[in-house]
Amino acid sequence: MRSNGFSMLESLFAISLLSLLVLSLLPMMMQIKQNLHWQNQKTIAHQLLSEESSFHLNNNFSSTYDTTIKNQEYRISYNQEVKQLCAVYAKENICYDIK
């Protein structure tokens, strides 16, 4: 007797191997997603700092403002005394000196 299909045992073995492969890759995919989210937040903070620095090159006063972008709050502040521009978001802090 000749059979051209897979047996039930071969099918179960193939499905179990595929399941193990997917389950082993799942943590890596979650880490990649988290890193992309963090990198996106950092990029937005740098863009906000860039926009604010061009504003403060011509103005001589301290300022602070809050903004929310993609459900993330950012606090942008400029300290005239030390000429420092900072962004605070998600427990991160980025500061630049403006000369």
Domain chopping of the chain, boundaries: 8-97
Q: Is the pLDDT of residue 55 over 90?
A: no
Q: What is the pLDDT of residue 1?
A: 52
When pLDDT is averaged across residues 58-87 and rounded to a whole number, the result is 90
Segment 36-52, tens digit of pLDDT: 999 999 999 999 999 88
CA nearest to 74, candidates 86, 88, 61: 88
Q: What is the 3-state secondary structure (H, E, C) of 11-80?
A: HHHHHHHHHHHHHHHHHHHHHHHHHHHHHHHHHHHHHHHHHHHHHHCCCCCCEEEEEEECCEEEEEEEEC
Q: How confident is the model at residue 2 (pLDDT cuts 50, 70, 90)?
A: low
Buried b (16+ CB within 10 A) or exposed e, 42-68: eebbeebbeebeeebeeeeeeeeeeee
pLDDT for 7:
87
